[in-house]
Amino acid sequence: MPNLSERRPDPDLLLAKVKRQEAEARRGKLRIYFGSSAGVGKTYAMLSVARKLKVDGRDVIVGIVETHGRMDTAALLTDLEVLPPRMMPYRGKELGEFDLDAALLRHPSLILVDELAHSNVQGARHPKRWQDVEELLAAGIDVFTTLNVQHLESLNDVVGGITDVRVWETVPDTVFDDADEVVLVDIPADELLERLRAGKVYLPQQAERAASNFFRKGNLMALRELALRRTADRVEGDVQAYRVDKSIGAVWKTASALLTCVGPDPGAERVVRAAARLAVQLNAEWHALYVETPGLQRLPAVRREKILGTLKLAKDLGATTAVIADADVATSVIDYARSHNLSKLVIGRDPVRRLWPWQRSHGQKLALLAPDIDLIEIGRADAVAQRGDAGNSRAELPAPSPGDQRKFKRLRYLWTALACVFVTLLSMPLAAHFDRSNIVAIYILTVVLIAVRLGRGAAALAAVLCVCSFDFFFVPPRFSFAVSDVQYFLTFCIMLAVGLITGQLTAGLRFQARVAAHREERAGSLYEIARDLSGAVQIDQVVKISDESIERTFRAGAALLLPNAAGRLEVTSARDDGALPVDLGIAQWAFDKGQPAGFGTDTLPGTEVLYIPLRAPSLARGVLAVKARNRRLLRIPEQRQLLDTFAALIAIALERVHYVEVAQGAVVQMESERLRNSLLAALSHDLRTPLTVLVGLAESLTLTKPPLSSTQFDTAAAIQEEARRMSTLVSNLLDMARIESGEVKLNLQWQPIEEVVGSALNAARGMLKQHRVEVHVPRDLPLVRIDALLIERVLVNLFENASKYTPPGSRIMLAAQVLGDTLSVSVADDGPGLAPGREEAVFQKFTRGERESATPGVGLGLAICRAIIESHQGKILAAHRPGGGAQFTFTLPLGNPPLAAEETDSGHG
């Protein structure tokens, strides 16, 4: 039994496979030409293949290709369509950049985009070219691109270590791993050097010196090995995917997942990259965790930014990231690992700087706490990495700490000094009456109070000041720092120790309190917005509540952009005072893609406003635009998460409001439909009953025995006739009302038209008694999908019309034929015809062909005909018959009639 079930492919896996294939079918395919260094011929290889495809008839265009002045490469471009570059200003120059919008507009089948790792000039939609490529793929366009091994994010520092040259343009590994095909372009190191000497490899002028370092044989061989290995890893991944695809055997995925810890030390990026590589090799998920301790919270803003930057790098490399505020790093890491079922820990090795013999490294602490979890320690930073880190952080954020905070710090120390002076002055008169140990107690109390109020630094200062004051003012000899009795040194030491320890303890408590307060604040604001939103029943309320909550919580201006009926976003915020410079273009992009854009994201990060799509369970409901006055606030992961949660809550509220409206609309519609139907039914019943009586009684008069006199008989017959006409009129009115209200549900069935013609003739027999009727309906007409009752009504009305407006004895001709993809039916007569120019007017309600006419009837019949035919997607026209008279023609669309089951003689019985 178990064997059977094990060999059967898991339905969930199969489903996932189908879903993946569906997503892939819509997405374009990415092929990367991958090489170990510049000059191996990636662009050349890519262009050669593109030319071949072009000859085969593929719609290939060149998005952007750098020929670097190489003739043989440029020659390949000649036959290909090249997208004109978009000129962007950059430091006073004009740079030709890849024009993403033009490419999307052109929408070729395949586009070549050279240099995947390229960074776009500021002002482009995405900071990186690989993001442009992502968008092309999402639009269903296939992309060929090129990439060097040193530009791969996770190998970046390895390559830096080998070559001493660090590049800053990197591509996340996920892009490489998710590419549909990777083509390795490879030449041996010697040949490459040969080409270099021959001047076939492009080197930028300014980088020439560094490059000459780079192109050493040893380097090239190492890079080549890296490129080959990375490609081999990928191929292995492909093989595994293939095996899963084909359900070959049982390839069990290990459930092990990695957790890496991000810290403030230099080289944290290296740890993250190492973890990323390991995760890829193990084919495992991985998490990156940052535990913020009190010490870390006191770090200068630039270094905190740096840590957040490392976390973002982890996220870019495919990790799930989290930030936890806790004083005990080891415990919280282990808790996190256990709660997320992560069995391997990757940490950086602690620097060897142990102050005390009992101090343990993080690694040791973790090992003690959780002996079952695998621990992998990564060697710390090398010189290159450190240099890079410093450069990186400088480039990324020059965020000065706020001025008032520094002022507060200075004030704090001033207060401490003042307090010490005050206590000393207070103690002077006491010294005469009390023992010096009591004076010590007063000082210690002072230190404790200062620690509680003003924090650790102030406590330390106070401890020193108090010791000095005590020594100077109270220890004999007084007013001198000299000490006569050695035992006071002990007093000094104890005073100092008490001051420092108290300061440390209270500072820790204050940190915990502050963390708790932050958490509470976040929880509180979430609770508030959730409560407020749950009470909102109108869009306006949702808008107002979100504006206010975001203003309160993030000290940021917010605007809700909601789509109109056409799916275009519109600003709906209540207070549109222009304080929020909303760019509807970016917002629309965020809405369409379902991805955040603007400040702090990967898309147009240069703008001030952050755009978060409001994704509700069923679909995106709009975009939340936020502009924080303190920008750093939005970079902190917890704040961003909180904002995302807000966005989710707002989205759900919008969706709920939407459904409330839909439900109300449905109730109103149902109610009005019910009312209309019951009204029509009542009208129909109440009018028909007396008409039935009239018809019936008039007819029974004509049947009485002995028979009536001829005038009496005629009167009774006339009453009967008129009552019947009135009944037709009532039917017409009711039908018109039903059709006008749009509530008529067509009972569409596949019908032979001759049957409907037959029943219409039967129904109109009475009024056609004095006319000659000719019917031309071929036998082999296809079935049409119609409501037979309504089409019969059309024909009866047309017959009635013809009989009313032609003298007795006239001919009435009905013909049906197939015209194109329609069935055309015409009713013609040889009577006086229509008044010229009235062909259209006859279909209006209450219109008749002649102004003044003795012919009875309210001109409803043809209006009903038009309404019925149009509800069948057909047309009805009035015209003059060529031989004189009027001709009404209507068409009905032909579809694909179902086949009637073919009958075989053996089917009998």
Partner 1 sequence: MAESLPVAILVEDERQIRRFVRTALEAEGWSVHETETLRQGLVDSGTRKPDLVILDLGMPDGDGMDFLRDLRGWSTVPVIVLSARVGEDDKIEALDAGADDYLTKPFGIGELLARVRASRRRRDAGAGLGSTVEFGDVKVDLSLRTVHKKGAAVHLTPIEYRLLGLLIANFGKVLTHRQILREVWGPSHIEDGHYVRVYMGHLRQKLEDDPTQPKHILTETAVGYRLVQNAIQ
Catalog residues that contact partner 1 under the rule CB under 8 A. 680-681, 684-685, 688-689, 691-697, 699-700, 703, 705, 720, 723-724, 727, 731, 734-735, 738, 747, 749-752, 754-759, 761-763, 765, 775, 777, 779, 783, 787-789, 792, 897-898, 900-901, 903, 905, 907-909
In angstroms, give the least distance from the CB of 791 to partner 1. Answer: 9
Q: How far separated are the first and last CA of the chain, in Å rounded?
A: 47
In angstroms, give the least distance from the CB of 823 to partner 1. Answer: 15
CA distances from 121 to 38, 90, 484 (A): 22, 7, 73
Residues whose CB is less than 8 angstroms from the CB of residue 837 and which lie 6 or more positions away in sequence, other chains included = none
Let me know if 176 is exposed, middle or buried by CB neighbors in 10 A (0-12, 13-18, 19+): buried
In angstroms, give the least distance from the CB of 7 to partner 1. Answer: 38
Measured from the CB atom, the residue of 567 and 782 that comes closer to partner 1 is 782
Measured from the CB atom, the residue of 140 and 696 that comes closer to partner 1 is 696
Measured from the CB atom, the residue of 734 and 877 that comes closer to partner 1 is 734
In angstroms, give the least distance from the CB of 732 to partner 1. Answer: 11
Measured from the CB atom, the residue of 87 and 697 that comes closer to partner 1 is 697
Measured from the CB atom, the residue of 585 and 897 that comes closer to partner 1 is 897
Residues whose CB is less than 8 angstroms from the CB of residue 193 and which lie 6 or more positions away in sequence, other chains included = 215, 217, 220
Please choose, from the candidates 496, 79, 154, the residue with its C-alpha nearest in 3D space to the C-alpha of residue 316.
Answer: 154
CB 470 within 8 A of CB 443: yes
CB 816 within 8 A of CB 777: yes
Measured from the CB atom, the residue of 572 and 759 that comes closer to partner 1 is 759
In angstroms, give the least distance from the CB of 749 to partner 1. Answer: 5
Measured from the CB atom, the residue of 137 and 790 that comes closer to partner 1 is 790
Measured from the CB atom, the residue of 79 and 774 that comes closer to partner 1 is 774
Residues whose CB is less than 8 angstroms from the CB of residue 849 and which lie 6 or more positions away in sequence, other chains included = 805, 834, 835, 838, 842, 886
What CA–CA distance (Å, rounded) separates 422 from 519?
38
CA distances from 594 to 480, 486, 683 (A): 74, 75, 53
Structure tokens at 77: 């471009």
Give me the sheet containing 811-819, strands edge to edge: 772-776, 811-819, 822-829, 886-893, 875-880
In angstroms, give the least distance from the CB of 844 to partner 1. Answer: 24
Let me know if 572 is exposed, middle or buried by CB neighbors in 10 A (0-12, 13-18, 19+): middle
How would you label 213-235 residue by residue, b for 16+ Cβ within 10 Å and e otherwise? Answer: ebbeeebbebbbebbeebbeebe
Please choose, from the candidates 601, 735, 761, 616, the residue with its C-alpha nearest in 3D space to the C-alpha of residue 680.
Answer: 735
CB 77 within 8 A of CB 67: yes
In angstroms, give the least distance from the CB of 751 to partner 1. Answer: 6
In angstroms, give the least distance from the CB of 907 to partner 1. Answer: 6
Measured from the CB atom, the residue of 759 and 889 that comes closer to partner 1 is 759
Number of C-alpha atoms within 13 angstroms, CB side, residue 290? 31
Angle between helices 11-26 and 217-245 (to 10 degrees): 120
Measured from the CB atom, the residue of 87 and 693 that comes closer to partner 1 is 693
Query: What are 144's strand-pairing partners?
Result: 31, 112
Measured from the CB atom, the residue of 316 and 787 that comes closer to partner 1 is 787
Amino acid type, 150: Q
In angstroms, give the least distance from the CB of 882 to partner 1. Answer: 23
Measured from the CB atom, the residue of 595 and 759 that comes closer to partner 1 is 759
Cα angle 644, 650, 653; round to 5: 145
CB neighbourhood size of 570 (10 A): 13
Phi-psi region of 578 (alpha: psi -120 to 50; beta: other; left: phi over 0): left
What CA–CA distance (Å, rounded) separates 553 from 418?
37
CB 440 within 8 A of CB 460: no
Query: What are 22's strand-pairing partners?
Result: none
Measured from the CB atom, the residue of 665 and 696 that comes closer to partner 1 is 696
In angstroms, give the least distance from the CB of 722 to partner 1. Answer: 12
In angstroms, give the least distance from the CB of 811 to partner 1. Answer: 16
How would you label 552-564 residue by residue, b for 16+ Cβ within 10 Å and e otherwise? Answer: ebbebbbbbbbbe
CB 747 within 8 A of CB 787: yes
In angstroms, give the least distance from the CB of 342 to partner 1. Answer: 57
In angstroms, give the least distance from the CB of 879 to partner 1. Answer: 23
Measured from the CB atom, the residue of 270 and 785 that comes closer to partner 1 is 785
Structure tokens at 753: 């038209």
In angstroms, give the least distance from the CB of 688 to partner 1. Answer: 4
Measured from the CB atom, the residue of 244 and 763 that comes closer to partner 1 is 763
Residue length, the chain? 909
Number of C-alpha atoms within 13 angstroms, CB side, residue 584? 10
Measured from the CB atom, the residue of 430 and 697 that comes closer to partner 1 is 697
Amino acid type, 246: K
In angstroms, give the least distance from the CB of 746 to partner 1. Answer: 11
CB 458 within 8 A of CB 413: yes
In angstroms, give the least distance from the CB of 818 to partner 1. Answer: 17
